[in-house]
Amino acid sequence: MIKKYIVTFFSHFGAIRFERELRARGIKGIVKPVPRKLSSSCGTCVEFGINMSLSEEFRDEKAVFYLKDNELKINDNHNEIEQVAEISKEGYRRIYTAKE
């Protein structure tokens, strides 16, 4: 099963850095404008999907993101991520919001 996510950022640079992190881990991320139903400071987001059957490959809790109990967890060491939403048939479900 593939779960899809959208990550929004406070800056365009954060989106580019995140997309590079995905690419380094063998995941295709698409940098694109933020959907209207989600807000963003910079207007740029990254959309990507993770095959949950490969979840053992994403257990490093020091990485920018990792999987735990079949849920995506975030380590935002650069304070660039505004929010993360899981994409579903019903719409978007926010799973992470930056601390104010």
What digits encode the pLDDT tens for the residues 19-56?
998 898 888 999 999 998 887 677 999 999 988 766 66
Given a cut of 90, whether residue 13 has pLDDT beyond it is yes
Given a cut of 80, whether residue 6 has pLDDT beyond it is yes
pLDDT at 32: 95
Task: Give the chain as a 3 state SS string.
Answer: CEEEEEEEECCHHHHHHHHHHHHHCCCCCEEEECCCCCCCCCCEEEEEEEEHHHHHHHCCCCCCEEEECCEEEECCCCCCEEEEEEEECCEEEEEEECCC
Lowest-confidence segment of 4-8, 14-18, 70-74 by average pLDDT: 70-74
pLDDT at 66: 79
Mean pLDDT for the stretch of residues 46-69: 78
pLDDT at 51: 81
Given a cut of 70, whether residue 82 has pLDDT beyond it is yes
Strand-pairing partners, residue 9, are 81
CA-wise closest residue to 99 among 84, 69, 85, 79: 79
